[in-house]
A and B are shown apart, each in its own frame.
Chain A
């Protein structure tokens, strides 16, 4: 009886801790452009902080691509558009950072397989405070 009670309490504590970790940074609405095997493509999502302290995304990885980075799109003084990698992405407390076209995005280099509309790809963002955050990307044209 006593053991069951302790076990139950531990379970509640454990799931509470896990739940609080899960909701501290929420990654949702993930999608990416379709592309052929070996090509590069962009992925987009919303990263929302429910925490009262800032966090930082320091790495991104996925099995779908050989290499992954966070990029931002820039407009140069001559009007041309380009992309630049960024080392870290700061997620301010209680704010959502939206990765979207013409702005921040995840770059997937050299896809390991062709990804077409309707396919799925799992990406892990590494948060400084919360470790790996999983997001499923829907592939669309």
Chain B
């Protein structure tokens, strides 16, 4: 019992720290901060581990956040990302990075299956996952919130849960600085194409 209580204090403390990080990151992004977001190790669908986003410096990084059990918002975001990819994907100075909002279920295998369903290219489009702690640190660094909402028990006895989450995509310049943050599911692809190309032209 006591251990549980102590454990709960830690959970509360960690949650508090995460919320503080999210708030701080949001403020910094809002203030057009010139420092890159802090990085954490994430595993990618290309089989490599990246200190994300630091290891992608030198490239313009179109960063999105999804989870594979998400039937609506994330599908729209991925749809927008695919449209954007069709327009700028042949520019080798640009990479796409899609980070899971649900590290518990989104293994590398799940992300690879998702990429196959959606026709996400294997080259220069990384789908990223990792330990819960590392993924949450990346969320916090981008001011992204993801929290379990409700759980559905299916007739088979299986439980399926959903996640309330931030709907956002980010454009990072070659120095790893977040230059733009926009709603992902309603992204104006024309605007984003222009903006990505603009940022890619900067030295």
Query: How many A-B residue contacts, CB cutoff 8 Å?
Result: 87
Mostly helix, strand, loop or mixed at chain A's interface? strand
A83 and B16 CA atoms in complex are apart in Å by 25
A69 and B150 CA atoms in complex are apart in Å by 14
Q: What distance in Å separates the Cβ of A39 from its nearest Cβ neighbour in chain B?
A: 7
Contact between chains at B117 and A34 (CB < 8 Å)? yes
Contact between chains at A101 and B154 (CB < 8 Å)? no
Asked if A85 meets B149 with Cβ closer than 8 Å, knowing A73-B73, A105-B71, the reply is: no
Asked if A101 meets B72 with Cβ closer than 8 Å, knowing A67-B154, A80-B164, A80-B166, the reply is: yes
> How many residues belonging to A are interface residues under a CB distance threshold of 8 Å?
32
A107 and B69 CA atoms in complex are apart in Å by 11
Q: What distance in Å separates the Cβ of B126 from its nearest Cβ neighbour in chain A?
A: 20
A73 and B74 CA atoms in complex are apart in Å by 12
Query: When the two chains form the complex, which single residue of A40, A76, A116 contacts B71, counting CB atoms closer than 8 Å?
Result: A40
> How many residues belonging to B are interface residues under a CB distance threshold of 8 Å?
33
Contact between chains at A110 and B76 (CB < 8 Å)? no
Contact between chains at A39 and B154 (CB < 8 Å)? no
A36 within 8 A of B: yes
Contact between chains at A101 and B155 (CB < 8 Å)? no
Pick from A66, A78, A108, A109 the residue with the most CB of B within 10 Å: A109
Pick from A34, A41, A80, A116 the residue with the most CB of B within 10 Å: A80
Contact between chains at A42 and B113 (CB < 8 Å)? no
Question: Which residues of A line the B interface, CB within 8 A?
Answer: 33-36, 39-42, 66-67, 69, 71, 73, 76, 78-85, 101-102, 105, 107-110, 114, 116, 141
Question: Which residues of B line the A interface, CB within 8 A?
Answer: 68-69, 71-73, 75-76, 79, 113-114, 116-119, 145-147, 149-150, 152, 154-156, 158, 160, 162-167, 185-186
Give me 16 other A-B pairs in contact (C-beta within 8 A), A81-B164, A102-B76 excluded: A36-B117, A40-B69, A41-B75, A42-B72, A66-B154, A73-B73, A80-B145, A80-B146, A81-B167, A81-B185, A82-B165, A83-B149, A85-B152, A101-B75, A109-B154, A114-B117
